[in-house]
Chain A
Amino acid sequence: MTDFDPTGNNGTNWHPGLKESYIFDRNTIHEIRRAASQGIYDIRGFGAKRKLPHFDDLLFLGASMSRYPLEGYREKCSTDVVLGTRFAKKPIHLKIPITIAGMSFGALSGPAKEALGRGATMAGTSTTTGDGGMTEEERGHSEILVYQLLPSRYGMNPDDLRRADAIEVVVGQGAKPGGGGMLLGQKISDRVAEMRNLPKGIDQRSACRHPDWTGPDDLEIKIQELREITDWEKPIYIKIGASRPYYDTQLAVKSGADVIVLDGMQGGTAATQDVFIEHVGLPTLACIRQAVTALQEMGMHREVQLIVSGGIRNGADAAKALALGADAVSVGVAAMIALGDNDPAYADEYAKIGSAAGFYDDWHEGKDPTGISTQDPELAARFDPEQGGRRLNNYLKTMTLEVQTLARAAGKSNIHNLEPEDLVALTIESAAMAQVPLAGTDWIPGSTPGGF
């Protein structure tokens, strides 16, 4: 979507009497005109841009008379996470509770994938492959690499399965639960085409269903196969897009998952129809408690770990997700921004392609001035993977420090001791979704039988 007006005309010619329609606002009118001229839906990257109940609608209470805080920076507040304790012979140890989400080589350039590996490794966490297979850049630079098994199976092979540290079966993504991947022709370079075994320059629509299993009973057998191939060493994750998180979590546990990755509707994407991004799925805030309840009812909370993603931006978001019961969070869009995407230093170049720093989401077009979401060798060469890695490490460390700051304020010596009781909600909606009381009341909407 390139509907930001770089001339700053957002109201310049406005005068009293020009009344903008609330429902037919300028974006809506722009989109109708665009559809009428182009005859195709809008495809874009990034996550949902509409306003949704989110972590900003929650607050931590902090310590008080009855809760004892920890001394900032002095008293220990541990942040490490172990993933895959249920079945895997080699569980994964992360130093911080923030992982890098799966982003495909194809969507991102080789150097960008390398930078994600470098930054994650410096920060002591994992990174993840994506639709398009495993590249040497990311395997070589990622100490802990999660290998995705997606419906398309592009590049899938047993050697990469064996050299992965964990395997993530992707059932869905928050940006498009029920949708498959897209990579448009302009990004299909020789290398991408070869890895995916497809002709160069064609629009690739990856499948939305796995080719060799349907439903949780089959998935259980598929997971058994993956475990047998890799001699039961690797943790197996199941990634689900948030739509029915209570049932999907239970079915994922039943299918034999070690770890569940739950991606809310704000979750980023490299290329999806705008109508899908904005109108399908549950907000991240609304799905955490449902998934945690499902795990608790099965006696599996903390035994099968829960990673939450979709619009995580800072330590506050991460801490709130942990307090609601997640074991870790995962970041996609924020990691790209940390690498340098949407950098105002490229303001002129963004303007040339009809966008602006801070608004750019046409990642599918392959023209990214920062060289991150492109396969154009000249653009990709602009991006320095070492510097990108350092920036990502800085960002992840800052987030972790923020999580610790909030946890210490709540008197917790381990970030996983944060709990719903530490939170209140600012709105009725967020109180209902997060199942914490509306601030200043003891009211949790939806929790009183027969009441609101």
Chain B
Amino acid sequence: MTTATDIEVVDLAVTPLRELNQRLHDAKNGGPKSWKIVNPNGAHALAVGIDADLDVLIEGHTGYYTAGMNKHANVTIDGNAGVGVGENIMSGTIRITGNASQACAATGRGGLVVVEGDAAARCGISMKGVEIVVKGDIGHMSAFMAQSGTLVVCGDAGDALGDSIYETHIYVRGSVKGLGADCIEKELKDFHRAELGRLLEVAGADAKVDEFKRYGSARTLYNFNIDNAGAY
């Protein structure tokens, strides 16, 4: 019998993915709280749809959609993560010690995603409330149509940052290659300093609030205007 303090180790070289995910789902009804997954070997859809307060450590690189739609769990990927890591995350925390591929935390609605390395294109695309902290750089078209939530970038941002952005707050410490349609630099007010400071702290990022610039929506595309046709 396992108790709540034991660490449940699952070897994906032996255990089928389906069985692992099923067990993680069943953990909602009790059983081990701490999990260690070894030999992920780039598996797709790993640890998706968890709905319980678990600690999950994945030792190695993962494929697409790791920890997708996560609720409550704290998932750490000790390696690089493929496309759409933490897509549509609802709550809990996902930490990637390496780099994240495209569409990191896409459409995320809550919780926190921390990337220790770099994140590729479309980081935070269509985000809806998630908080994302990337300690390295992010790729082009990040925060495209980002609706709400916060994106913190300690390194540089690629082209077309925040294109067609709605109400998401973006903070970038380094350079921004280019801003997308309707995204502008905005004043860093006390509220934003507090928000940024809190996120740098929870993410364990070694950076100072005053080194960042804030970007957000100019709100000129919110209602259709024919004179903006070129921007749509």
Contacts and interface: CB of A to CB of B under 8 A. Distances in A.
Contacts of B128: 153, 197
Contact of A229 (B69, B84, B224): B69
Interface in B24-74: 25, 44-45, 48-49, 51, 63-65, 68-69, 71
Nearest to A184: B224
> Main SS of chain A's interface residues?
loop
Interface residues of B, number: 43
Contact of A232 (B18, B68, B87, B88): B18
Interface string A194-221: 0011110111010100011100001001
B16 to A, nearest CB: 11
Contacts of B90: 157-158
Interface stretch (B102-110, B111-119, B132-140, B193-201): B102-110
A46 to B, nearest CB: 20
A229 B68 contact: yes
Contact of A197 (B71, B125, B147): B147
A212 B87 contact: yes
Contact of B22 (A158, A213, A231): A231
Interface residues of A, number: 34
> Main SS of chain B's interface residues?
loop
B48 A229 contact: yes
A161 B69 contact: yes
A19 to B, nearest CB: 34
A230 interface: yes
A207 B128 CA distance: 14
Interface of A: 39-40, 152-153, 156-159, 161-162, 184-185, 196-199, 201-203, 205, 207, 211-213, 218, 221-222, 224-225, 228-232
Interface of B: 17-18, 21-22, 25, 44-45, 48-49, 51, 63-65, 68-69, 71, 83-84, 87-88, 90, 102-103, 106-107, 109, 122, 125-126, 128-129, 144-145, 147-148, 164, 166-167, 222-224, 226, 232
Given A205-B232, A228-B21, 5 more contacts: A40-B224, A158-B51, A162-B49, A197-B129, A224-B44
The 7 closest A-B pairs by CB, nearest first: A229-B49, A212-B84, A39-B226, A158-B69, A202-B222, A225-B45, A212-B103
